Amino acid sequence: GVFSDPLVLRWRRKNGEIIWTEQRNVPIYDAQGNLVAIEGIARDITERKRAEVALHDTLAELRRSNADLEQFAHVASHDLQEPLRMVIGFLDLLAERYRGRLDRDAEEFIGFAVDGARRMQNLINALLDYARVSTRGQERRPVDANRALEEALWNLDRAIAEAGATVTHDPLPAVLADPTQLMQLFQNLIGNAIKFRRAEPPVVHISAQPMICPETRIAMWEFQVRDNGIGIAAEDIGRIFGLFERLHTRQEYPGEGIGLAMCKKIVERHGGRIWVESVPGQGSTFHFTLPAAEQR
């Protein structure tokens, strides 16, 4: 016999507990074709139902917090930046007009206030960049990763020269990506590889190898950005992709702690994954996957 579609039923136990069952029925006919019985199998699917509800809630929550963030980014750009610019403008004016007429403390306090306001401006800009990964993202299209890398290296030109860094790469493939975001990805990862260097000059290498996503069977490329920098302790690896997560003070290494969160958002938006392997004191290798431009 052919099984019917499962019938999902919700039950209330005597003790008040709600359980779910899934039931499949099969009609049984005699030789003349008369229905004589219905055979059924019922299974308790309460656990699965709970997991589904939890997943649904999590997704709803995630969508809401993304929407909140985008809303915030909008507010940040239009409503927060303007008054902040005013604060900075008047502080600068104060410092300039009253130079030499205020005591040392007063001048120092103005300096702190300017630093704080500038810092807030940087944070707002960083948060805007982060939110724009989804609001300004373009459609994925075939992109030559060599081109995106070249652009990133061009933008990093000064940092590379100042650090005396050597950046090399294998020939890279074409992937399905938003070209600007692929460039940003390389720029963030290579920028970090140079920033978090040890005493010796940074050596960075970028490579890629083909792979098949085990879940979707889609042809992907796994990129690697390898450095010889300070490395990351095993216990910190889980944190670094989070928003505003940093392992150092801004005095040690400048930054807002948003670069890797952006990288993660970019890669995941393209259906890929990002992770890092590192030996503290020797270097780190950041890995990320992107869909291949041509399915093999």
For residues 274 and 263, the answer to whether their CB atoms sit within 8 Å is yes
Could you tell me the smallest distance in angstroms from the CB atom of residue 145 to ligand ADP? Answer: 19
d(CA 208, CA 287): 9
Could you tell me the smallest distance in angstroms from the CB atom of residue 225 to ligand ADP? Answer: 8
Q: Which of 153, 232, 266, 292 binds ligand ADP (CB under 6 A)?
A: 232
d(CA 101, CA 194): 43
Q: Which of 173, 179, 202, 257 binds ligand ADP (CB under 6 A)?
A: 257
Decide: is 229 part of the binding site for ligand ADP (CB under 6 A): yes
Q: Which of 63, 64, 136, 248 binds ligand ADP (CB under 6 A)?
A: 248
Contacts with ligand ADP by CB under 6 A: the residue count is 21
Closest by CA position to 226, among listed 286, 160, 156? 286
Q: For residue 66, count other CB atoms closer than 10 A to its CB.
A: 13
| Interface stretch with ligand ADP, choices 10-18, 22-30, 157-165, 246-254 (CB under 6 A) | 246-254
Decide: is 228 part of the binding site for ligand ADP (CB under 6 A): no
Q: Which of residues 188-227 bind ligand ADP (CB under 6 A)?
A: 192-193, 196, 227
Decide: is 240 part of the binding site for ligand ADP (CB under 6 A): yes
Decide: is 272 part of the binding site for ligand ADP (CB under 6 A): no
Closest by CA position to 49, among listed 83, 11, 87, 4? 11
For residues 25 and 54, the answer to whether their CB atoms sit within 8 Å is no
For residues 156 and 194, the answer to whether their CB atoms sit within 8 Å is yes
Q: Which of 247, 269, 273, 287 binds ligand ADP (CB under 6 A)?
A: 247
Q: Which of residues 277-296 bind ligand ADP (CB under 6 A)?
A: 284
| Interface stretch with ligand ADP, choices 53-61, 143-151, 207-215, 243-251 (CB under 6 A) | 243-251
Which residues, in sequence order, are CB contacts of 197 under 8 Å at separation 6+?
Answer: 163, 165, 227, 228, 229, 230
Decide: is 260 part of the binding site for ligand ADP (CB under 6 A): yes
Decide: is 76 part of the binding site for ligand ADP (CB under 6 A): no
Q: How many degrees, rounded to 5, is the angle at CA 245 between CA 179 and CA 114?
A: 95
Beta bridge mates, 43: 22
Residues that bind ligand ADP (CB under 6 A): 192-193, 196, 227, 229-232, 240, 245-248, 255-261, 284
